[in-house]
Amino acid sequence: MPIVTIAQIKVGLNRRPLKQQKVIELIESIKANGLLNPITVDQDLNLIAGLHRLTACKMLGLEQVECNIITCADSAHARLAEIDENLIRSELDALERAELWLERDRILESLQLRAKPGDNQYTYKGKGSETISPPPKTTFELAQAVGYTERTFQQGKQIAKSILPEVKEAIKGTAIAKSTTALLKVARAGSKEREQAEKAEKAIQEAQKQEERQRQAQLADEARAKQRELQLQTLRNVAAQKAAKLKKKELRKHLQPQAKEITPQDVLNTQPGDQWLLARHLVYCGDTASDEFIRCLPSHAALAIATPSTIWRHDYLIDEARVVAVLRMAGYIHQFCTQQRMPFQYELLIGEIYVALFSYSSLMAPQNLIEVEGVEGIVAFLISLYSQEGNFVLAPFIGHGEALICCERMGRICFTGDLDPQHVSQAIARWQQWTGRQVQRGS
């Protein structure tokens, strides 16, 4: 195996980002066993595969390294070899793999190794009369070459092509980057605007007059901006759904061992007017439409969630929180939306529960079906979508403590309460069970 001076190896600018933990693991492995898999370079010593291994060797102070040297006709073939090396690695997430598929496809097309729709791969001719050999490959053959079905391959290319660069940057490093289903939802958001932008961008190239080019450029910019907005909104929605499902699963798993039903006597004797401090959270027993409760609230809550209840004197919430979400069953939501005075934005149907959203600011409705179940799942989804860690969340109807527990688990601060002392005590008991901590009586 050839030995190459590390300083002579050239690393391209379009390499995948280094994963520091992997480099650390390789350092320990090389210390113990040496370099088990040689680095791959081309005949000009351009790195094809092994950036993590090369980095580990550099950090160990090695000056030379074993290399597998392959011959590439040109830089395009060298990049193809590099992509193929990366595609066989299991640590690629769905977004990384999709981007490599698209780049590979485009390089093959530039080298006339990619069949176009309607081409006959056995009679395809080059610029002269010679038949191209090997013949251009179809999508099915390209999918087979990377070990995936044609449908999966096409979906991957759609993800890489349709998601805007700035949206990809927001996705990278998150759980969404690993989910083809979630990525497809983002990619398909704003498809109408993407088509409008592409049409305008093509018109720019064909326009004869400067005025027309400027007009088309403005149309393209507006369409891309709308597409970006829709994709980012969809990204927030799918991320919130994923977080909601995860939190609900964790809560159920944690609470499953509980054998007996929680009763107020298990916790404390709550009376109307009592306030309880649960770490950073506040729980109030009494009328949550009263001045006493309102005086306890922070002045800049991110979200207020009102779970199903027949009592409503809480229009004040719109002045206390940036977004107000009200949950109602079928048959009650229309009446509610026509009777209250809060500025309505839009309505969602999640399972059998309607969620009405209110805000003084414009809110964009989700573009995709929301796949979460139950009040707890919906509450977790809303908290994830409309608030960030450290934000205040208001819940004037404590229910079974859904908002309180979700806020505890997701790093938000909950201000909640209820008229029914039993509901308050049971919610506090659930919080104690989840955290293992005690409560304090407020002043």
Confidence of residue 263 (pLDDT cuts 50, 70, 90): very low
pLDDT of residue 247: 65
What is the enclosing helix (H) or strand (E) of 276? strand 275-278
Residues 324-349 as b/e (b if ≥16 CB within 10 A, e otherwise) read bbbbbeeeebeeebeebebeebeebe
404 DSSP assignment: H
Task: Answer yes or no: are the C-beta atoms of 414 and 281 closer than 8 Å.
Answer: yes
Q: Please say if the pLDDT value at position 260 is more than 50.
A: no
Q: Please say if the pLDDT value at position 266 is more than 70.
A: no
Q: Which residue has the tokens 């990278």?
A: 172
What is the enclosing helix (H) or strand (E) of 303? strand 301-306
pLDDT tens digit string along 278-291? 989 999 999 999 99
pLDDT tens digit string along 97-124? 899 889 888 888 888 777 766 555 454 4
pLDDT mean over 26-51 = 89
pLDDT of residue 261: 44
Q: Which amino acid is at 236?
A: R
Using N-to-C axis directions, what is the helix angle for 210-255 and 374-386, rounded to 10°? 140
Task: Answer yes or no: are the C-beta atoms of 369 and 381 closer than 8 Å.
Answer: no
| Edge-to-edge strand ranges of the sheet holding 440-441 | 344-350, 353-358, 321-329, 301-306, 392-395, 413-418, 281-285, 275-278, 440-441
- Return the structure tokens found at 440: 């304090």
Query: What is the rounded CA–CA span in Å between residue 226 and residue 192?
Result: 10
Confidence of residue 404 (pLDDT cuts 50, 70, 90): very high
Phi and psi at residue 269, in whole multiples of 5°? -95, 100
Flag the least confident range among 26-40, 299-313, 347-361: 299-313
**Strand-pair category, 281-285 with 301-306:** unpaired
pTM given for the model: 0.59
Burial class of residue 22 (count of CB atoms within 10 Å of its CB; 0-12, 13-18, 19+): middle
Sequence-distant (6+) residues with CB within 8 A of 148 are: 156
131 DSSP assignment: B
Task: Answer yes or no: are the C-beta atoms of 1 and 66 closer than 8 Å.
Answer: yes
Task: Answer yes or no: are the C-beta atoms of 171 and 235 closer than 8 Å.
Answer: yes
DSSP codes joined into one string, 44-113: T-BEEE-HHHHHHHHHTT-SEEEEEEE--SSHHHHHHHHHHHHHT-TT--HHHHHHHHHHHHHHHHHTT-
Average pLDDT across the chain, whole number? 84
Q: Which amino acid is at 297?
A: L
